[in-house]
Structure formats: structure tokens, C-alpha cells
Amino acid sequence: MDIEFPSEFVWGAATASYQIEGAWNEDGKGQSIWDTFSHTSGKIYNGDTGDTACDHYHLYKKDVALMAELGLHAYRFSTAWTRIFPEGRGKPNRKGRDFYDALIDQLLDQEIDPWLCFYHWDLPQALQDKGGWQNRDMVYWFADYAAFVAEAYGDRVKHFLILNEPNVAALLGHMLGLHAPGKSDFMTFIAASHHFNLATGLVTERLRSLSTEWQLGTVLNLQPVHPEKDTDEDMEAAELFHALMNRNVLDPLLKGQYPNETEAMLSSVVQDDDLRQIAQPLDFLGVNCYTRMLIKSDKKSPFSIAQASPPKGSELTAMNWEVYPKALYESLKNLQENYGNPRVFVTENGAAYKDELNARGEISDTARIRYLERHLEAVKEAMEEGANVSGYFVWSLLDNFEWAEGYAKRFGLIHVDYETQKRTPKQSFSWYQDVIREQGFDRS
Ligand code: IFM
């Protein structure tokens, strides 16, 4: 075997509540910011919504059977806050709570370890109406919700993920207005960024006081940032973007400080003791990585930071993201070299391609297989050089609602026909099945 992983390496796949569940207003579920956003005209490609998505709420048993066929060790999913607390706080909704009970039991019946993420972006609209992540009170509302969920399922769930990609939620949802709640304001971005960090620390502390048996981590999107050109201006812009996107989450969580570049911007929202509160030791860090970020200086853009296009001739995925496996290697090495080599799981990696069923009704997604192989090679290389990586989760198990891109972009190992809800495992599904069985693969 060319690329072989240790026998205890965890192989998983990931999804998120809003992207797959559907049943947006069933069984007492409340409205989330993504329900509101997707129902607002002009926000989502093609006017798509997550109302039905993959109908996983009703089809979860079939989906777990597919996970078992795939041979997954672990399944990463998120709970929809509004299924459990329709208004975000107050009286829990029994039926919503029962859904995750049933899902978790089904996973355990198939010997698949449930990895539960408390928050993958679908904030209750009722809390957004009180200011959402811009409001410091959110931190405490979130901690109450997370503690409730951990106590409800923590007899069977051992791995909890606190937030999914708070840095992306802060940027796309609060600064660029491309994701819910659709805000475009720098100070809202700054406040949300800090409150996400504070929430991570507070939840860690709360959960530790409830049980010592849980493995606690959080999930960050870490993209290495490269200057387009080796000019001082581009390098400076890249350094600042790296501070805003990567170090603004990594430094407070793992070093108890904000980067010099962003400290002054945050001064109006950071209170005494916040940094101590944030820097609670985690058991592991979840790393999501898809590509690198190329940055150029542009005087007309805020902070002179602009995204540059991938170099001419680059291989791109259907998201127009450059295929650049070294990004994952660099992210893992950065954690090893600059952050004390924490225990890491790659909690998302994958690619969207224009998958089409052939005449035999099959999907031969060889580009995705090649993408995944090259990224696993990058993980292996980092591990051989000492990076502390313990597992890998493909994004995603199923094709699903890709946020502002609606259903146009398919990331799944399993194709979903959204008209009929028919699931068709792609060639990458069989490939991943073999990888898990063999703990690796031969280079193609
Ligand atoms: O679909 C998303 C996921 O929700 C968060 N990480 C990136 C994925 C692909 O864009």
C-alpha cells in the first residue's frame, strides 16, 4: 500500500442539519436564520431553499444504512437548534429532541460513532431578532443550549464539536452579506467573531463541569493565505487577511491572545477576562480545508484586501476553487509548528464536481476521487513529519444544499435526486469504502 494510515485512524463523513434535513417547519421546529434567508428573494441561486433538502429527517434510516455500507467509523452531523428549542430558549420541543435520539440510536446500532456539532449556522431567528451573534448575550444562550444537548445525548455521544467554521460564518454572514443573517458591516463582523470565540470557551468550561467523559473540540476553516505576487503590498494584504480569518480564531483559542494586527479592531468588544475564558484547553481541533486563498492588494477594497483569481491553467472544482492539496498540508503543519501540535481531525475536505448519471445510471466521479487521494496524501505527508492528525471526514456524505449556491453544487459521495429523493452512491463511495477497509490506498 502506497498511502497507509494507522489502524486507530478515524474515517468519517460529515453533513449539517440545514443542508440535509428538510422538514423545515415540521413537528414543532422553529424558524432559523437560514429559513428566513433562503425564503428571501434573490439570496440563493435559483431560489432554492432547504425546505426539503435531502429529506433526511424522514429518510435518516436509509441514510444510516448507506453509512454502514460505506464502513464509516464516525458520522459528523449537527443538531438544528430550532428543532430542540424552537425559539432558541425556553421550553424544549420533545419531537425535535426525539429525532436526534432516534438518529443516534440508529448510528450506534450500526456501530457508527456519532460526532455531534451544536452549531452549523442555523441560528434560531428569534435570537437573531435579539441581535444574534452581534449581541454578547448570545454566548450565554448558546452555552445553555449546548449544555442541554450534551446532557440529552451525552450518554451515547462522546465527541462534541462546539461550532462549525465560526470564521466563515462571521465573514460571509456578517461582513459580506452572502450568508444568513445577511449582514454587511465590519463592526458586526468583529463583534460576531469575538462572541463566537467566547462561546467556544464558555461551552468548553460548562461541558467540562458536566462530564469528564466527553471529547470536546471545535471546527475551524483554515485556508493558508498566499500573496498573489511577492510585492510588499500583496504580502501585507495577505498577512492581514490571514490574521482576520485564521489567526483571529487560532490565537485566542490556542494562545489566549488576539493577533497584533486585529487587537485594536477588537478593543470595543473584548472585556476583561474574555481571553482567559476563551483559551480553555480542547481535546482536539477540527480542521476544514478545501483550497488556499490568494490575496492581492487593492486600494479600492476594505483594508486593501482583495481576492485574486487562481493562477491561469489551475485545476478548479465546480465551486471555482483551485485544487491545491498543499493547502491542507500547510494548515496541518502550521498547527504543528506554531500552535503546539494539538490533536487534529480533518473534519471536512471534499470537492464539488458536475456529476452526471451515465446511461447505466452510474456516476463516475474520478475527479473527486483524485481530489480526495491527493488531499489524503497531503495529510499523510504532514503526519510523517509529526503533525498530530487522528482522523479524516469527507465533506460530504450526500449531495446537499450548498448555502448560497443552492443545489447546483454537489459535494456528496452519494448522489441525491432532489425530485425523487433517490440516493445513488457514486464511484467515490466505492473508492472510500476500499480506503476505509484497507486503511489507505495505492497511488493512482
Ligand atoms: O457546505 C459547506 C459546509 O457547510 C461548511 N464547510 C464548507 C462546505 C463546502 O462549501
Ligand 1: which residue has its CA nearest to atom 10? Answer: 402
Output the CA 246–ligand 1 centroid distance in Å. 16
Is the CB of 288 within 6 Å of ligand 1?
Answer: yes
pLDDT band at 376 (very low <50, low <70, confident <90, very high): very high
Mean pLDDT of 28-56: 99
Output the CA 296–ligand 1 centroid distance in Å. 24
Query: Which atom of ligand 1 approaches the CA of 348 most closely?
Result: 6
Output the CA 250–ligand 1 centroid distance in Å. 19
Residue whose C-alpha is closest to residue 263's, from 244, 245, 238:
244
Output the CA 377–ligand 1 centroid distance in Å. 21
CA atoms within a 13 Å half-sphere pointing along the CA-CB vector of 196? 30
Is the CB of 402 within 6 Å of ligand 1?
Answer: yes
Active site residue 438: no
Burial per residue of 213-251, b for 16 or more beta-carbon CB atoms within 10 angstroms, e otherwise: ebebbbbbbbbbbbbbeeeeebbbbbbbbbbbbbbbbbb
Mean pLDDT of 56-85: 99
Inter-residue long-range contacts of 233-241, CB under 8 Å, 24+ positions, other chains counted: 233/297, 233/304, 234/295, 234/296, 234/297, 236/297, 236/304, 237/295, 237/296, 237/297, 237/298, 237/303, 237/304, 237/305, 237/306, 238/295, 240/303, 240/305, 241/293, 241/295, 241/305
Question: What distance in Å separates the CA atoms of residue 111 and residue 94, rounded to the nearest whole number?
Answer: 26
CA angle centred on 180, ends 164 and 324, rounded to 5°:
50
Query: Residue 1: pLDDT above 90?
Result: no
Whole-angstrom Cα Rg for the chain: 21
Q: Write out pLDDT tens, residues 98-147.
A: 999 999 999 999 999 999 999 999 999 999 999 999 999 999 999 999 99
Q: Active-site residue among 21, 322, 348, 402?
A: 348
- What was the pLDDT predicted at 386? 98
CA-CA-CA-CA torsion sign (353, 357, 360, 361): positive
Active site residue 373: no
Measured between its terminal Cα atoms, the distance across the chain in Å is 11
Give, as one character, the DSSP assignment of residue 282: P
Is the CB of 122 within 6 Å of ligand 1?
Answer: no
Q: Write out pLDDT tens, residues 204-218.
A: 999 999 999 999 999
Q: Taking the domains of the chain in order of start, what are their residue ranges?
A: 3-437
Residue whose C-alpha is closest to residue 84's, from 103, 75, 97:
97
Q: Write out pLDDT tens, residues 386-441.
A: 999 999 999 999 999 999 999 999 999 999 999 999 999 999 999 999 999 999 99
Residue whose C-alpha is closest to residue 24's, from 86, 75, 105, 77:
86
Out of 288, 398, 401, mutate this one to test ligand 1's pocket (max ligand atoms within 8 Å of CB): namely 288
Q: Write out pLDDT tens, residues 303-320.
A: 999 999 999 999 999 999
User: For 3-437, which CATH class?
Assistant: alpha beta
Query: Residue 200: pLDDT above 90?
Result: yes
pLDDT band at 443 (very low <50, low <70, confident <90, very high): confident
pLDDT band at 268 (very low <50, low <70, confident <90, very high): very high
pTM value is 0.98
Average pLDDT, rounded, for the chain: 98
Query: Residue 444: pLDDT above 80?
Result: no
Ligand 1: which residue has its CA nearest to atom 4? Answer: 16
Q: Write out pLDDT tens, residues 313-356.
A: 999 999 999 999 999 999 999 999 999 999 999 999 999 999 99
Q: Write out pLDDT tens, residues 134-170.
A: 999 999 999 999 999 999 999 999 999 999 999 999 9
Query: Which atom of ligand 1 approaches the CA of 319 most closely?
Result: 10
Is the CB of 399 within 6 Å of ligand 1?
Answer: no
Is the CB of 165 within 6 Å of ligand 1?
Answer: yes
Query: Residue 279: pLDDT above 90?
Result: yes
Out of 15, 21, 289, 348, mutate this one to test ligand 1's pocket (max ligand atoms within 8 Å of CB): namely 348
